[in-house]
Structure 1
């Protein structure tokens, strides 16, 4: 039963937090001691930096962002999700001015939860390729 509850938390984080841009949902779900193991070396890796990236960087670059969850696997306190972010690049993103191109960011992430909150995040995506495409590299 706990694995199904954890999967539901991850879905809520993605749909209400990321897709809808609801920072309160993100703050509710991210534990104060949450660690984002995917943050670049030397960058902040706590909940505030995750919220900043999702709402001030990702949603600014792609205001029409949608999240599609393709697969979820859960075991113990961990949930792995394969998903896609789709959006149109109508705002500045990572220093790249709007191109009005449609993008697909493919993501696989692993979340460890405690009491219905994220406490650790690991992820892989094609974001470097998307940035290269948007910047014409």
Structure 2
């Protein structure tokens, strides 16, 4: 559904790229579950917000999200994107390097009533971190 793709695009630009808390609250269902959270870690909406606001945004200046592909089927939207920025702050224990960082992501979001209900995703962050250590 095109409107579900619009919801996901809005999340990526307004929430991830621009850090807008009001958009985050508008777009997250109260019963949201992040199915890709590490075992034992919180998997609610606030933990998703914390990932962007406490991990990525402080570490990467000029953070941008580039959406390469989106496919919608039923209530799910699959997106292939790149989150990039300049590594100007600590990133998961790695001191700033000043290098451009690009994290490739593929995620699936289930949308209900124009809000995120579930998320599954894979990303290249482990490889990015390994590259920053060299």
Cα deviations across residues 28-75 of structure 1 (Å, max 9, x unaligned)?
Answer: 111111111111111101000000111121111102110000100001
Q: 2: CA distance between counterparts of 1:78 and 1:23? A: 23
The runs of 5 or more residues in structure 2 that have no matched partner are none
Question: 1:75-86 residue pairs with structure 2 within 5 A?
Answer: 75-86=73-84
The runs of 5 or more residues in structure 1 that have no matched partner are none
Q: What do you get for the CA RMSD once the two structures are aligned?
A: 0.8
Q: 2: CA distance between counterparts of 1:28 and 1:92? A: 29
Higher strand proportion, which one? Answer: 2
Aligned to 2:87: 89
Report if aligned partners of 1:27, 1:47 keep a CA contact under 8 Å in 2. no
Q: CA deviation at 1:80?
A: 0.3
What is the total number of aligned residue pairs between the two structures?
Answer: 134
Which contiguous aligned blocks of 4+ residues in structure 1 show a shift greater than 6 angstroms?
none
Q: 2: CA distance between counterparts of 1:127 and 1:57? A: 12
Which of 61, 68, 71 does residue 69 from structure 2 map onto?
Answer: 71
